[in-house]
Structure 1
């Protein structure tokens, strides 16, 4: 297999006098997870704070750039763990066996990561935050290892993956009809409703972005700092692996991931649960998230709405999202 790219660096937390903040952590490197080296970044101002592991979406779409740009304030209140999952971002390399790209393998990888993080911070539990595909992975892990998860947070939470895809396709078709966009209608009708292969997922999502205005100049300008910003953890050259990894992982895993149904697979969780829902999310339409929320049994559960957000409230309304995470988790667990 091709060699891994260098992990990059990360700046330490410093006091006003320029000294490294005592008990802070700023570490980046490759960790052996599930027998494969995978990229992990750990940052937090105080190791006494609860560990928070982000599970990015896709599958195969690293969100570290977005999270570090829009949500770095969370590092003041949590020890935040950013993980490029197997086959994604800095963890992608050519020659990775497609046979290893399974939900079961990702659960094993995540279990190794949780063990590593708990040993590093001296804790027995972590807070999991799953976004989109990561919300499937997070719920499945929390169900299997409840003793390791203090609280579960889901953004763009998927319940019945097939129902979410069908609802998303219906949204795209309705938007194309409403706008009278003949090119969009022709393309969407050509791929037909799901289930469909990864190539059709990319097509449907791209048309939705165009119809929603997410590819407008102003929308893309907002992301410029996250994509091209000067953070040492990543460089513009990493964008090549970002695209390659996303396409490889989606092609390898989309069929299995899109068949998952948490309503039947995980009807109950044994830790507090919080779902963050973007009102304008057309990739995981809110009604499908609410259906799972209503069916889910948990010691406590909350549904928080973001009126001005789509699929990524942590990007669309970062300050509101960060405060919601701090407030909800702070009320659920003690440092």
Structure 2
């Protein structure tokens, strides 16, 4: 057993230094499917080279763009591990945002400023690039966690390019969400007789906290089940993702250090983000998907936002066995819902 574990670790360590790649779609004869697409590349996005992985069994299918959470943590490899079934129905674009995933450089200078609109503008370049490449007019946007912020703003600003917007763990009002998250975490600590957790939360006090982070400690969210309802955690996502050829040392280091690049945004503009003071009228279908137990980005706040939305079509969907992470806790159910309800709204190539 010890030898087997050692060999497995050696194999993973060796692969970590290899160049990244993504496997082709192959038919029964072992040859790549003629209409498929499977590529990893870097494109220039507003002067910053950024990594995209594009995969689809049929390049004529509608385009779906994943906008990952973070903002410092790419979810590309985890989404490939848990949600790759979507590649049978869409051309799926996994975009590593600034400083995340394959874009992480531990030696790069930290940005002096980051804004939410920069990420919206980056997303705009990615969308225009893939629309031109595949000869389509619209994309499906699926944002998760932080990714719902640039995603929903892009859907407002450029509805003519969005067939549908799907927000998973939608962020709508960070201050309100954190007030509710804190109250829930404190009640959980007391119900569980977790004296250490209770003392930590009492010492912090409820938000806002002048000069201190607004966010409820994420380790307590994990412990109390507000991030994951299932018996899993972010370590599971990292290990699952590192098994894939799309990951190497850069992703491994990014999991540990990319937050340093986005701290200015996370502790600044993002911590104050509120959708409620923005127009709530959308010209494209809006679907919000929330885990029933999501306390990290309070599902109740997302539902408050949903009630204010006016759109040609909208739905709020509960995932009953998930907290903040339905793409990883209930991937089959989430993917099936998107295929069944969103795929028919997306225009095929050339339509």
Alignment partner of 2:240 out of 186, 203, 226: 226
Q: Note the C-alpha offset of 1:203.
A: 6.3
Question: Is 1:163 the counterpart of 2:176 in the alignment?
Answer: yes
Alignment partner of 1:280 out of 293, 302, 306: 293
Q: Note the C-alpha offset of 1:241.
A: 1.7
Q: How is 1:153-192 mapped onto 2 (pairs within 5 angstroms)?
A: 153-192=166-205
Question: Structure 1 pair 197/254, CA: closer, same or farther in 2 (3 Å)?
Answer: farther
Question: Structure 1 pair 82/199, CA: closer, same or farther in 2 (3 Å)?
Answer: farther
- Match of 1:107? 120
Q: Deviations over 1:278-305 (max 9, x none)?
A: 0011101221011000001111101111
Is the 2:174–2:270 contact (alpha carbons within 8 Å) kept by the matching residues of 1? yes
- Match of 1:66? 78
Q: Deviations over 1:14-51 (max 9, x none)?
A: 00111111111111021111110111111011111110
Q: Which stretch of structure 1 is more off in the superposition, 35-44 or 89-98?
A: 89-98
Question: Structure 1 pair 312/102, CA: closer, same or farther in 2 (3 Å)?
Answer: same
3-state secondary structure, aligned to 2:53: strand
Q: Deviations over 1:45-74 (max 9, x none)?
A: 111111011111122121112211110000
- Match of 2:318? 305
Question: Structure 1 pair 23/293, CA: closer, same or farther in 2 (3 Å)?
Answer: same
3-state secondary structure, aligned to 2:123: helix
Q: How is 1:192-271 mapped onto 2 (pairs within 5 angstroms)?
A: 192-196=205-209, 200=213, 204-212=217-225, 218-220=231-233, 223=237, 226-229=240-243, 231-235=244-248, 238-271=251-284
Q: Which stretch of structure 1 is more off in the superposition, 257-266 or 149-158?
A: 257-266
3-state secondary structure, aligned to 2:54: strand
Q: Which stretch of structure 1 is more off in the superposition, 285-294 or 262-271?
A: 262-271
Q: How is 1:81-92 mapped onto 2 (pairs within 5 angstroms)?
A: 81-92=93-104
Alignment partner of 1:127 out of 140, 143, 154: 140
Q: Note the C-alpha offset of 1:125.
A: 1.1
Q: Distance in 2 between matches of 1:290 and 1:269?
A: 16
3-state secondary structure, aligned to 1:219: coil
- Match of 1:290? 303
Q: Which stretch of structure 1 is more off in the superposition, 9-18 or 165-174?
A: 165-174
Q: Note the C-alpha offset of 1:90.
A: 1.6
Q: Note the C-alpha offset of 1:6.
A: 8.1
- Cα RMSD after superposing both structures: 2.4
Alignment partner of 2:36 out of 18, 24, 28: 24
3-state secondary structure, aligned to 1:13: coil
Question: Structure 1 pair 199/20, CA: closer, same or farther in 2 (3 Å)?
Answer: farther
| Bigger radius of gyration | 2
Q: Distance in 2 between matches of 1:215 and 1:286?
A: 13
- Match of 2:60? 48
Is the 1:213–1:219 contact (alpha carbons within 8 Å) kept by the matching residues of 2? no
Question: Structure 1 pair 217/263, CA: closer, same or farther in 2 (3 Å)?
Answer: closer
Q: Distance in 2 between matches of 1:288 and 1:306?
A: 16
Q: Deviations over 1:301-325 (max 9, x none)?
A: 0111110001011111111111001
Q: Distance in 2 between matches of 1:126 and 1:316?
A: 25
Is the 1:101–1:253 contact (alpha carbons within 8 Å) kept by the matching residues of 2? no
- Match of 1:323? 336
Question: Structure 1 pair 179/200, CA: closer, same or farther in 2 (3 Å)?
Answer: farther
Question: Structure 1 pair 41/227, CA: closer, same or farther in 2 (3 Å)?
Answer: closer
Structure 2: which 5+ residue stretches go unaligned? 1-16
Q: Distance in 1 between matches of 2:210 and 2:286?
A: 32
3-state secondary structure, aligned to 1:264: coil
